[in-house]
Structure 1
Amino acid sequence: MEIVKSSKAPGAVGPYSQAVISHGQVFLSGMLPLNPETGQIVGETVEEQTKQVMENIIALLEDVKLQLEDVVKTTIFLDSMEDFQKMNQIYGEYFSSHKPARSCVEVAAIPKAALVEIEVLAHLK
């Protein structure tokens, strides 16, 4: 198992790794809408926060020489399912032609009071 640590994506907000590589797979921990430099939440709307999460995912994938097309599964955690369509619109701009498997659930709370968190599973080339 190889631990991935990137300065281009937000650091972990707890005792876990940003990502781990194991058996040809890259497991990205749930990504929050944090500014990688300040660690502060970016955006007040689910659209702004989803965009920041996706940019953070791209940055972390790039550190292991992957891109969104290498993603095979995502799991989305929403503070409110009422934000599903808004989040889905932004998510769809990033995953337009390549559509990985996905789950989306509403949760009671997300760390740092974020509106959205996304975890990713990608396949190494």
Structure 2
Amino acid sequence: MDQHENGAQWPQTMNPAGLATPGGHYSHVSIANGLVFVSGQLPIDATGRKLTDASFEAQAEQVLANLACALAGAGSDVTKLAQVRVYIVDIEHWARFNEIYARWAGDARPARAVVPVPALHFGLKIEIEAVAAI
């Protein structure tokens, strides 16, 4: 990674194998100064198939798998998460998401927000973004 004059590192971007090609002008992962920034992950599988008609649970499992893939591609993992932001289209899904997330995260307890939103792209029900250490 290149460095600024003040020693800060320029961001390195990547799209780890196992994730669909980004659908816009962004990278799945940006790494700078020992931190991994993961762009919002939607329930889209590695082939690009959107899980629009899948249950909330299936969509939640897919975004968490995408998050794990993005972290691994950057040399990080769930135990190094610092912050997670979750967008859900119905606050009624909060309790079920919390159960799925707790099982996925195990002993890791990063800072987290669950934000209800009116809609997400493609009619999907959940999106997750995160920050982790390398």
Give, as a single letter, the amino acid of the residue that structure 2 aligns with 1:7.
A
TM-score where L is the length of structure 1: 0.92
Structure 1 residues 62, 43: closer, same or farther in 2, change over 3 A? farther
Runs of 5+ in structure 2 lacking a partner?
1-10
Do the aligned residues in 2 keep the contact of 1:9 with 1:57 (CA within 8 Å)?
Answer: no
User: How many residues in Structure 1 have an aligned counterpart in Structure 2?
Assistant: 124
Greater mean deviation of Cα atoms: 32-41 or 91-100: 32-41
SS in 1 for 2:45: coil
Structure 1 residues 33, 41: closer, same or farther in 2, change over 3 A? same
Aligned to 2:46, which of 16, 36, 61? Answer: 36
Correspondences of 1:101-120 after superposition (within 5 Å): 101-120=111-130
Displaced runs of 4+ in structure 1, greater than 4 A? none
Correspondences of 1:1-125 after superposition (within 5 Å): 1-41=11-51, 44-124=54-134
Structure 1 residues 65, 123: closer, same or farther in 2, change over 3 A? same
- Aligned residues: percent identity? 25
Greater mean deviation of Cα atoms: 51-60 or 36-45: 36-45
Which structure has the bigger radius of gyration?
2
